[in-house]
Amino acid sequence: MRILGIESSCDETGIAIYDDEQGLLAHKLYSQVKVHADYGGVVPELASRDHVRKTIPLIDEAFKEAGCGPKDIDGVAYTAGPGLVGALLVGTSIGRSLAFAWDKPAVAVHHMEGHLLAPMLEDEQPEFPFVALLVSGGHTMMVKVAGIGEYEVLGESVDDAAGEAFDKTAKLLGLDYPGGPLLAKMAEQGTPGRFTFPRPMTDKPGLDFSFSGLKTAAANTIRSEGDDEQTKADIAHAFQTAVIDTLAIKCKRALKHTGIKRLVIAGGVSANTELRQKLERMMQGMKGQVFYPRTEFCTDNGAMIAFAGMQRLKAKQYATLDMKTQPRWPIESLPPL
């Protein structure tokens, strides 16, 4: 079976064609970074307009790369939520309309399920059950995964997501948008130990996250100390270390709570090299395994939507004709396969 996947939840237009036997046949991605850079963040209306311009041409390119056409696919998957409602509506209306025109089933995909299953695109795949840390610009959550559609949210951010805190702190440091990767690069030049920031909510039980206080601590230090480039690098190092330590502490706590020895990290922040190394060392000490997607599948992409859509397509969990989008969509509400 083959499926076309469409991702348009925020500021990346992702298209992919996935075959359940041959794997990924085509993968196209257009990033809107340059569109939003002048504004220091995503402008929803501009994001929607760009998805309108890019989606169909990218679909044509994906078909050419895969060497097939609409008649060769068995379904169309699209991101129906969560995300920016205007951006979601573009991908949903295009995906559902193409499925109708081609007389193919349509599948509405949960964006975070796409991230959660992205490591399944790799040769070494995690077995169920596992604990998943989903960290991106819009979400930070810990999920116990018993199987596809069998999700229990163990904890989530009560305010800023980790990626959002990275981007906001980077902006305070004078870095361009998107700031998270630039902050991580700046942190490489930082002096360890010069500044120390709190590890929020790690001194109390539970698996929820909070990064707004950490961001405020960094902001106050930037205002009082951050006049030169070395000091900014030292602050970036301290901030990144605090975020990574916090995530690692909560992961270890979740693994001990569930008794599971497999950890998945996914989402944009999972591309952070220091985070990966920290969690790899931690899992070695716990005699467990950590899994994550390759870097290009950490950020939003069509491949993860195509893969997640294929699982739902096989289960015949088709979308209706009403083109429903869900900007907020609890992952626990998804049906099991």
Query: Domain locations in the chain?
Result: 2-117+297-333, 126-292
Phi and psi at 193, nearest 5°, equal: 90, -10
- Is 51 annotated to bind ligand? no
Q: Is 137 annotated as a binding residue?
A: yes
Q: Are 170 and 152 in contact (CB under 8 A)?
A: no
The answer to whether the annotation marks 255 as part of a ligand binding site is no
Q: Check the annotation: does 25 bind a ligand.
A: no
Cα 277 from chain centroid? 19
181: preceding bond cis by omega (within 30 degrees):
no
For the four alpha carbons of 97, 102, 105 and 107, in that order, the dihedral sign comes to: negative
Q: Is 300 annotated as ligand-binding?
A: yes
User: Is 138 annotated in some ligand binding site?
Assistant: yes
> What residue ranges of the chain have pLDDT lower than 70?
none
- What are residue 188's phi and psi, to 5 degrees? -60, -25
CATH code of 2-117+297-333, in short, is 3.30.420.40
Could you write out the DSSP letters of every residue in 200-261?
A: TT-SSSSS-B--HHHHHHHHHHHHHH--SHHHHHHHHHHHHHHHHHHHHHHHHHHHHHHT--
Residue 137: per-residue pLDDT:
86
Q: Annotation-wise, does 103 bind a ligand?
A: no
Domains 2-117+297-333 and 126-292 alike in fold? yes
Across-strand partners of 132?
Answer: 143, 264
pLDDT of residue 183: 97
pLDDT, tens digit (0-9, with 9 covering 90-100), for 289-327: 999 999 999 999 999 999 999 999 999 999 999 989 999
User: Would you say 136 is a known binding-site residue?
Assistant: yes
> Would you say 9 is a known binding-site residue?
no
CA atoms of 73 and 29, how far apart (whole Å):
20
Q: What is the per-residue pLDDT for 226?
A: 77
Q: How far apart are the C-alpha atoms of 35 and 71, rounded to whole Å?
A: 34
The pLDDT of residue 320 is 94
Residue 227: its pLDDT value, please?
A: 83
Alpha-carbon 130 to chain mean position: 17
Is the CB of residue 126 less than 8 Å from the CB of residue 119?
yes
Tell me the residue ranges of DSSP E strands in 39-93. Answer: 75-81
Do the Cβ atoms of 269 and 135 come closer than 8 Å? Answer: yes
The pTM assigned to this predicted structure is 0.96
Q: CATH classification of 126-292 is 3.30.420.40, yes or no?
A: yes
Confidence (pLDDT) at 185: 97
What pLDDT, on a 0 to 100 scale, did the predictor assign at position 111? 98
Structure confidence at residue 138 (pLDDT)? 87
